[in-house]
A and B are shown apart, each in its own frame.
Chain A
Amino acid sequence: MLGPKVIVVCALLYLGLLFAIAYWADRRADRKRSVISSPTVYALSLAVYCTAWTYYGSVGRAAASGIGFLPIYLGPTLIAALWGTLLLKMVRVSKAQRITSIADFIASRYGKSQVLGGIVTVIAVLGVVPYIALQLKAISQSVTIMQSYPLVNDTGVVAAIPILQDTALYVALALAAFTILFGTRHLDASERHEGMVAAIAFESIVKLVAFLSVGVFATFVLHDGFVDVFDKAAAAGVMKTMTVASAGGYGNWFSLTLLAALAVMMLPRQFQVAVVENSDESHLRRAVWMFPLYLLLINIFVIPIALAGQLTFAGTAVDADTFVLTLPIAHGQALLSLLVFIGGLSAATGMVIVETIALSTMVCNDLVMPGLLGRWKRIPPPSDFSQLLLRIRRGAIVVILLLGYLYFRFAGEAYALVSIGLISFAAVAQFAPAMIIGLYWRGGTHAGALAGLLCGFGIWLYTLLLPSFAKSGWLPAGFLEHGPFGIALLRPQELFGLSGLNEITHCLFWSMTFNIGAYLYFSMRRQPNVNEATQATLFVDVLKHERPFGVALWRGKAEVHELSRLAERFLGVERARYAFARFADQREVESVDQLPADAETVHFAETLLAGAIGSASSRVMVASVTAEEALGLDEVLDILDEASQIRAYSRELEQKSQELEAATGELKAANEQLKEIDRVKDDFMSSVTHELRTPLASIRAFSEILQDDPRIELEQRRHFLEIIVSETKRLSRLVNQVLDLAKIESDNADWHTEDVDLGELIREGAESTAQLFAERGARVICEVPAEPCVVTADHDRLMQVLVNLLSNAVKFAPQGGGVVRIILQAHGRNFRVSVIDNGPGIAIPDQRHIFERFRQGSGGTEKPVGTGLGLPISRRIIGHLGGRIWVESRPGKGATFIFELPVNDGA
């Protein structure tokens, strides 16, 4: 039913369908109605990660080691969580710099170095060729199985077939033709291959549907669901222990997970679809969950298929790597097996196409171009080499696929599918330190990246690739067992005596150790130079900038027509002129001729060219037609600083306006406070005038009375004159106190601080008021400790306070029976002086105001003589001396005025 012709026709029809999809998508893109501007298509295209190795090999690995296949999918699932920042950074940098490949990316990061680009390309080609070989092997094997349908165990021996009859060769050539059609229609590699992406997304659906179909067939048709499969497998004794320990232990589990996590970012084809082909940063958000979901779906049936296969083929020689295909064949499901075959073809072709396009771009831009540029310095180059570039790429595609074929033919038999894939993973993982650290650390230098890559790659060659050659019989086996020249310490798979790890983990450990170590060591040996620092900032700070600002980092002389001629030579006249015209439009000048030959134009030309020949070569080419002045490191940093200052400026503006609002609020508050102060001052002035007017009124009234009537009796006349004199005294006292208060409040008072013994002060105070007490018939009692109580104070000011308190006390004391007690005592770190009278006391509400200006006590029946400024002045004096003063009183029980001053113990 399924003759060889049917298989070939179906395969060709399928490829034709893919090409139709690609063609359609390209046409749509030309008409600006892109089909790939969908986050779902982007996420599906990432599933190019799942190759024939996933499709066939996972089942093989599950049959051998239970859940051992899982780390390859856990790694990508875990690292997808970081895509929001890590991949976003890579995408944004690549957009800004028109990065064309991972080699270009690393070269660009470390100062647009041609050497680095070349090294990365070599590593990528050597590392990935086995992986391509694996796809060829899978396709040719599946074709062979289908051709021998319904026999399932006649897989034949590849080496026995003459090359020209080998299916794999024709598969390789067919894929090369197909890839050329897909990938090199345009030259500008940074321009997205929309058709290719659409086809890849379609293939991702096909392979998922095919694999799920086999899974459903194995689980629900052959058996009664998952539980049934597992039960039967357990009964038949083919059930593996599904634990990490049985899958190689946690060390290997961890290293495989890490390896896969790095590979999904570093594989040239993953970089191609995830970064170069990305049409919109926002697509990342869907990919972050949809890609892991895809991985989950394609892995659900791996174990059931493996178990069903082992149940079906118990005792036969059928390779577990072929279960996906042989299972439906063995059960006579022709259509299903055809679908599976197509699915496998999808997985393999998708990988091969994208990987080869990515590699051919790298080979062309980072290996061949620098060589050609070197040659053209001596021999004049052809005027238009856009066609030459296309031919280089096409040639690279053919060569890479043939290399893959040769590897498959001569080494492919040595290993199971999974092992070949892991060798590639370990090779591309060497890019990770230079890539990832370089995105977050400015200190990485060209020398560091070069040393890291070379060390890592060297270790990979020595511990993984050479042993694989040895196992294929190309190197003596003793090399593995005893080390080169019999040096045991250098045994490739037990390097420096490290044993007990599997070969992949062993390689990953040593290569990463040397790679990262060398990267850091050589990076830190010297400061980054101008180029490195410039590129480092553009890469590390890419998320901080709204738009790229490479523009300002160039200074020199350039001719616009030289630049456009250069672009024409690489891109073709038509494309180059179109790009320049669009740029002229953007800059709002009438024609290309009027473009200013400034940094922006040069930058445009360089990025335009970078899209075709890579950033490193582009820089060299542009430099050849312009006269660039070297910028010093300081200048570059200044320019970068300026750019960040502009960003900072807008932030600052916003902040300023907030500050302004706050300041306005403060101003309002201050204004209110000023008004309050003004009001208080007004009240004070009004009180002062009032207090001045009252004695003045008496003085004027009595003076006029005396003036009007000279016949007033002598006795009365004398009384009136006494009043005039005493009111005059009151007036001057008031004036003095107002001035005194003003002086203290404005801090203009002179203070003579010295050691003052409070006991001595109290005795002096009592003496100086003795006359007053005698007049009022009052007694004063001093209770002072014998030892001196020394404080730091202005003696005269303190005396002023004490006399004020004493005269207040005697003023309010009952006529004839007044007793005033002065008590001095230590109170904690203070000395406390209390002046206690037996007068009427002060009402509680008045106590709060008694220290305010012109608030005299009103307890007495007779108006007390005073200015209303004594206590306010006393409070300010005590406050100035670092103490406090207050009143305690209960109406009817006298009042106690207390002040405290800190003890001066000579400290």
Chain B
Amino acid sequence: MTKTVLIVDDEPNIVLSVAFLMKREGHTVLTASDGQEALETLVATSPDLMILDVMMPRKNGFEVCSEVRVNADPRIARMPILMLTAKGREAEMKKGLSLGADAYITKPFSTHELVAKVNELLARSSTADAQA
């Protein structure tokens, strides 16, 4: 069963490369170039996972993350979030995880690691869904 992945980043080249990787894994890809757009797409499409940048115009990744986690729709609220960001400090990573991100990968990233993490998160969430 194909999964839908939402890629949120203001760097078009990052979006392009990540989208390529996800498609190669057989996932359906949605994109957004800032936080606000991401939330709108999220509500409209309810994807299975979100890859989220932090430094973006209009609404940053941390804000998006915490809003997702309090969303009324449990499917959205429990959606796995993978933060993919150039903010590489320990404190920032902890902040992202405590705001509800399921994984945190810093740029520049290993494509293999990213793909593996995405698949792991998708598998874990579908197991959880099955149990629920």
Cβ of A213 under 8 Å from chain B: no
Instruction: Check B10 against A697 for contact (C-beta < 8 Å).
Output: no
In the assembled complex, the CB of A720 is this many whole angstroms from the nearest CB of chain B, namely 8
Bound: A723/B10 CA distance, A: 15
Interchain CB contact (< 8 A) of B55 among A690, A700, A708, A709: A690
Bound: A130/B116 CA distance, A: 129
Bound: A664/B113 CA distance, A: 53
Interchain CB contact (< 8 A) of A698 among B14, B33, B106, B112: B14
Bound: A720/B87 CA distance, A: 25
Interchain CB contact (< 8 A) of B109 among A697, A702, A705, A709: A697
Bound: A704/B108 CA distance, A: 11
Chain B residue nearest to A727 in the complex (CB): B13
Residues in chain A near residue B111, CB distance under 8 A:
700-701, 704-705, 708
Bound: A768/B122 CA distance, A: 52
Instruction: Check B110 against A698 for contact (C-beta < 8 Å).
Output: no
Instruction: Check B12 against A705 for contact (C-beta < 8 Å).
Output: no
Instruction: Check A723 against B108 for contact (C-beta < 8 Å).
Output: no
**Interface size on B (CB < 8 Å)?**
25
**Interface size on A (CB < 8 Å)?**
22
In the assembled complex, the CB of B82 is this many whole angstroms from the nearest CB of chain A, namely 14
Within B68-117, which residues are at the interface with A (CB < 8 Å)? 86-89, 106-112
Instruction: Check B11 against A698 for contact (C-beta < 8 Å).
Output: yes
Interface centre among B12, B16, B17, B20, by most A CB within 10 Å?
A: B17
Residues in chain B near residue A689, CB distance under 8 A:
86, 88
Residues in chain A near residue B26, CB distance under 8 A:
none
Encode contact with A along B16-32: 1 for CB under 8 Å, 0 otherwise.
Answer: 11101100100000000
Bound: A696/B85 CA distance, A: 12
Residues in chain A near residue B106, CB distance under 8 A:
693
Bound: A701/B20 CA distance, A: 10
A694-B14 contact, Cβ under 8 Å, with A689-B86, A705-B21, A858-B57:
yes
Residues in chain B near residue A696, CB distance under 8 A:
107-108
Cβ of A561 under 8 Å from chain B: no
Instruction: Check A697 against B108 for contact (C-beta < 8 Å).
Output: yes
Residues in chain B near residue A697, CB distance under 8 A:
11, 14, 86, 107-109
In the assembled complex, the CB of A701 is this many whole angstroms from the nearest CB of chain B, namely 4
Instruction: Check B107 against A694 for contact (C-beta < 8 Å).
Output: yes
Residues in chain B near residue A699, CB distance under 8 A:
108
In the assembled complex, the CB of B74 is this many whole angstroms from the nearest CB of chain A, namely 33
Within A854-907, which residues are at the interface with B (CB < 8 Å)? 858, 863
Bound: A702/B55 CA distance, A: 21
In the assembled complex, the CB of B94 is this many whole angstroms from the nearest CB of chain A, namely 15
Chain A residue nearest to B12 in the complex (CB): A863
Residues in chain B near residue A694, CB distance under 8 A:
11, 14, 86, 107
In the assembled complex, the CB of A705 is this many whole angstroms from the nearest CB of chain B, namely 6
Cβ of A686 under 8 Å from chain B: yes
Residues in chain A near residue B16, CB distance under 8 A:
723
Interchain CB contact (< 8 A) of B88 among A693, A701, A704, A858: A693
Within B13-68, which residues are at the interface with A (CB < 8 Å)? 13-14, 16-18, 20-21, 24, 33, 55, 57
Instruction: Check B20 against A693 for contact (C-beta < 8 Å).
Output: no
Instruction: Check A693 against B11 for contact (C-beta < 8 Å).
Output: no
Task: Name A residues whose Cβ lies closer than 8 Å to a Cβ of B.
Answer: 686, 689-691, 693-694, 696-702, 704-705, 708-709, 720, 723, 727, 858, 863
A-B contact pairs, 8 of them (CB 8 A): A690-B86, A697-B108, A701-B21, A701-B109, A702-B13, A702-B17, A704-B111, A727-B13
Add 12 more A-B contacts to A699-B108, A702-B17 (CB < 8 A).
A694-B107, A696-B107, A700-B111, A701-B14, A701-B18, A701-B21, A701-B108, A702-B13, A705-B20, A709-B24, A863-B12, A863-B57
Task: Name B residues whose Cβ lies closer than 8 Å to a Cβ of A.
Answer: 10-14, 16-18, 20-21, 24, 33, 55, 57, 86-89, 106-112
Give 6 closest A-B pairs by Cβ, nearest first: A697-B107, A693-B86, A701-B17, A697-B108, A698-B13, A700-B108
